[in-house]
Each structure stands twice: as C-alpha cells, then as structure tokens.
Amino acid sequence: MYINVIGAGLAGCEAAMKIASKGIKVHLYEMKPRKKTPAHHTDMFGELVCSNSLKALRKESAAGLLKEEMRRLDSFLMKCADKCRVPAGGALAVDRSIFAQLVTEGIKNNPNIEVFSEEVTQIPYDAITVIATGPLTSEPLAESIREICGDSLSFFDAAAPIVSAESVDMNYAFFASRYGKGDGDDYINCPMNKDEYEQFYNELVKAQRAPLHDFDVNNPKVYEGCMPVEVMAQRGEGTLRFGPMKPVGLTDPKTGHRPWAVLQLRKENSAGTMYNLVGFQTNLKFPEQKRVFSLIPALHNADFIRYGVMHRNTFICSPKVLNADFSVKENKNLFFAGQLTGVEGYMESAASGIVAGINAVRRYKNIDTLVFPEKTMIGALSAYISDSTVSNFQPMGANFGVLPELEDRPRDKKLRGAAYSSRAISEIEKFISENSEV
C-alpha cells in the first residue's frame, strides 16, 4: 500500500518526506519535466518561482515563529534552506538553484518515495491522496478539483526581475541593511533623489503592461502579497516610498542623509553574482522593464538576467471544503496542501504540507487525525483556512493577527511578538510530546 502525493513543490515535498519518514511508501506525481507552467524554469523539485527570501528569521516575528515550529516538526525544507543560505539581514534567503537541487536529491534518494514524471488530470481514488499542485495547477486537474470543491478563485501573482551584480553601478549605490541589521552588506541599495524618483514614477505608471491571457484583464484579482509594482504605484505618488522603496533605516554614505527613495537589491545566489529587485514584482512588457527600471541611477546599465513575469494563481474556497486537518469534508481520504488551500507564502505552504502529511499517515493507520493548537502559528493558519464563518475568503500568511489574543497583551510591539512566540513554542512542544506520530 502507498499514499499518493500530487505535486513536487514545497508542500508536496514536505508531505512526501513526512509520509516516507514513517516507513510508508509514497507515489509522488510531478508533471515536470514533461510539462511546465509559465512560471517554472527548471526540472527540479521545490522550485522557488517568486522571491528567494523565506522571510524573517527572528522567532519574535510571525514568519520566524512559523519556521521555528517547522524546525521542531523536523521540516525537510528547513534543513535544505539552512544549507544554502545567502546573506539577507534578518531574513532567511537561499540560493534558489542549490535549494531546489537539495530538495530534488532528497526526494529522489528516499527509498520510500517513487517519483512518477507525469501530469495527473483526474483526482485519483486508488489510495489516500494529498493534492499539492500549487497555485499553478494545470487546467485538467483544476477542472477535476472543481467537480468536488465547487467554485475556485483565480488571482494574479507576479515575480520580480533579476539583474547581474556586475552591471549595477556602485557609483550610485551602497551596501547596507536597514538599521544596520545583518552583516552590513546584505543588500545593495539604489538611492534616488526627489527629481529622479518623480521621473521614474511618472514613467512607471504609464508604462505598457504585458497581456494577461485567459483571464478577465479588466478586473483581475491582484494578490496583495505580490502586487505588481506598477499597480501599487497607481495608488499614489507616495505609495512606493512607503512600500518597497521606503528609505527608512538607511543613510547614503555619499551624502550623509537619508535618500528620498531607495530600491533594495537582494542576493539571488550564494556567489552574489545575481540580485533581485526587492518588492518589484511586475507585469510590464520586457522592453518596458528595461526602459523604466534603468531610470534608477544605479541600474542605468543593468543587465536583466530574468525579467519579471505575471502568472495565474488558483486557490479553493477552503472554509467550505476543508477541515482543519487539511482533509476534504466530503472525502476524508483526500487532503489538500500548499497555496491551493489559501495559505500565503513559501513556508506557509510547506508547513501545510507537513500537516497534511502527518494526517495522511494517521488516516492510513486508521487513527484519528490531528488538529494543531490554535495558539501555534501552524494551528492558527489551519483554523483560518477551515473557518466556516469566513465569508470572503482570501489567502493568508503568517501573522500574529490570526493567533488567539494574549491574556496579558504587552503594549510594546516587540514584547508582544516575543510573548506570542513564547506561548506558541510552548504549545507546539507540548503538542509534539503528546503525539508520538508527529
């Protein structure tokens, strides 16, 4: 006997490895390399298609707390990430090529996992199944999912461009992290004065966008977490200066003053030969990306190794469909995991794969599935995506707002984060100690 896992992205790989770790055979289906989505570029598993950042490391932050919980659950992907970190201040960023290579090797070398390189077009019912095909689920399988889940929601996601490090003109840039965090040279900062920013802004808002095929281009549902920079800019001239181009915590050593606006570049690989434009997800046409982004002084001669792209994301209305253990309400042998469930972000997707994998094993063994404590970040996200009282369901990432309120809530934000984190870690430790199958 075996358990099916469909999709070798972050959630699918975590689910497959968790199931395999319990000595159960896994049939892992991945349509690459035979078929790829528009956002995928390699044949490897666990490919990061948007940013190479896995967000904050500090346990006192919501994103950091989530990763700490995953570590305590023996997360496969956290082990891979730790082996290929690149400097990113207080964030955990990885060399995405090495990361995917480690994930792929780990999966393929596991004796309990058999990989099938083929597209699944119908939900299989031959065994307990975890569907983790992600926000770019192919249309045939998406149609099969609609048959049991009803209406699904589509929205757009965008990736940022990547430039070569050597093409960044350091006469107009400087190395630094905000407020001096990290090693001091984690980011290349591209400052702009008021006139430079206004020229850039005016060209950005009128730049030509790429067509969006197969969607309602007049009314797209733009995913706030990866909103295209040109869409954000249309909210007002100052929006970018309070968003991805905020200059706070930075001083230009050439002027001794805080710039009017700053674009930060983050290492894309451990060698530091490529950098991505932080917060600059975009759907501009490629020539327009070159023209407009080159108006930033440090990028006037930038070599764009990869232009930003925009692609479809799909998620199910999980509160109507899923239980908090990520099983389908009408079919307890079928589980979903990853962004398809409406969790937002890389590690959120991976964490849901861990939960789905744990519970698929328990279903296989005919024992009760587990619901994680709501005071943990994993449990709070599980509760959110399965909350039947949520009427306007939208994707949700790790944040302290989804956790139950603290009994003695500190006014100080940092102390509040520390208190949430301390409580959650105590809860996850107790949960793990009480459940040997975790």
Instruction: Note the pLDDT tens digit of each residue in 310-357.
Output: 777 788 999 999 999 999 999 999 999 999 999 989 999 999 999 999
Handedness of CA 114, 344, 311, 247 (dihedral sign): negative
In which residue are the tokens 């980011």 written?
Answer: 187
Hey, what domains does the chain have and what are their CATH numbers?
A: 2-156+313-434 (3.50.50.60), 162-308 (2.40.30)
Average pLDDT, rounded, for the chain = 91
- Mean pLDDT within 200-218: 77
Tens-place pLDDT, residues 40-55 = 678 899 999 878 999 9
Closest CA to 158 of 95, 237, 261, 230: 230
- Residues 283, 161: Cα–Cα separation, whole Å: 10
pLDDT number for residue 36: 75
343 DSSP assignment: B
Tell whether the model's pLDDT for residue 214 goes beyond 50.
no
What integer is the mean pLDDT of 215-224?
49
pLDDT for residue 8 is more than 60: yes
- Integer Rg of the chain from CA: 22
Amino acid at 159: A
Higher pLDDT among residues 296 and 39, named by residue? 296
The predicted structure's pLDDT at residue 155: 67
Handedness of CA 317, 318, 319, 322 (dihedral sign): positive
Q: Side chain identity at 328, as an amino acid letter?
A: V
Q: What is the DSSP annotation of 87-120?
A: --TTEEEE-HHHHHHHHHHHHHT-TTEEEE-S--
Average pLDDT over residues 94-104: 97
Cβ(12)–Cβ(6) under 8 Å? yes
Confidence of residue 215 (pLDDT cuts 50, 70, 90): very low
283: pLDDT strictly greater than 50 = yes
Residue 183 has pLDDT above 80, yes or no: no
pLDDT at 37 over 90: no
- For the ranges 176-185, 235-244, 405-414, the lowest mean pLDDT is seen at 176-185
Over residues 326-336, the pLDDT tens digits come to 999 999 999 99
Q: Which residue has the higher pLDDT, 42 or 262?
A: 262
Q: Judge whether 371 and 382 are in contact, CB under 8 Å.
A: yes
When pLDDT is cut at 50, 70 and 90, the band that residue 241 belongs to is very high
Instruction: Give the model's confidence band at 201: pLDDT under 50 very low, under 70 low, under 90 confident, else very high.
Output: very high
DSSP per-residue codes, 113-143: EEEE-S---S---SS-EEE---TT--HHHHH
> Which of 24 and 136 is assigned the larger pLDDT?
24
Does pLDDT of 381 surpass 80?
yes
Q: Which amino acid is at 69?
A: E
In whole angstroms, give the CA distance from residue 383 to residue 355: 12
Of all residues in the chain, the percent with pLDDT exceeding 70 is: 94
Instruction: Give every CB contact of residue 360 below 8 A, 6+ residues apart in sequence.
Output: 3, 15, 19, 128, 130, 335
Mean pLDDT of 268-284: 89
When pLDDT is cut at 50, 70 and 90, the band that residue 219 belongs to is very low
Least confident of 21-25, 35-39, 68-72, 284-288: 35-39
Task: Give the pLDDT mean for 144-157.
Answer: 75
**Residue 89: other Cβ atoms inside 10 A:** 22
Q: pLDDT at residue 102 above 70? A: yes
Distances (CA, A) of 400 to 79, 149, 151: 25, 29, 29
Residue range 395-406, pLDDT digits in tens: 889 999 899 989
Percentage with pLDDT > 90 across the chain = 74
Across-strand partners of 331?
328
Whole-structure pTM value: 0.82
Tell me the average pLDDT across 239-256.
95
Query: What are 44's two structure tokens?
Result: 């490897």
pLDDT classification of 221: cutoffs 50, 70, 90: low
Which pLDDT belongs to residue 182?
A: 66
Average pLDDT over residues 194-214: 90
pLDDT at 84: 97
pLDDT at residue 38, as a whole number: 65
CA distance 421 to 429: 12
Give Cβ neighbours of residue 273 (< 8 Å, ≥ 6 apart). 164, 165, 166
Report the SS3 class of residue 413.
helix
Q: Tell me the C-alpha distance between 155 and 393, whole Å.
A: 13
Least confident of 62-66, 157-161, 352-356, 384-388: 157-161
Q: Is 89 helix (H, G, I), strand (E, B) or coil?
A: coil
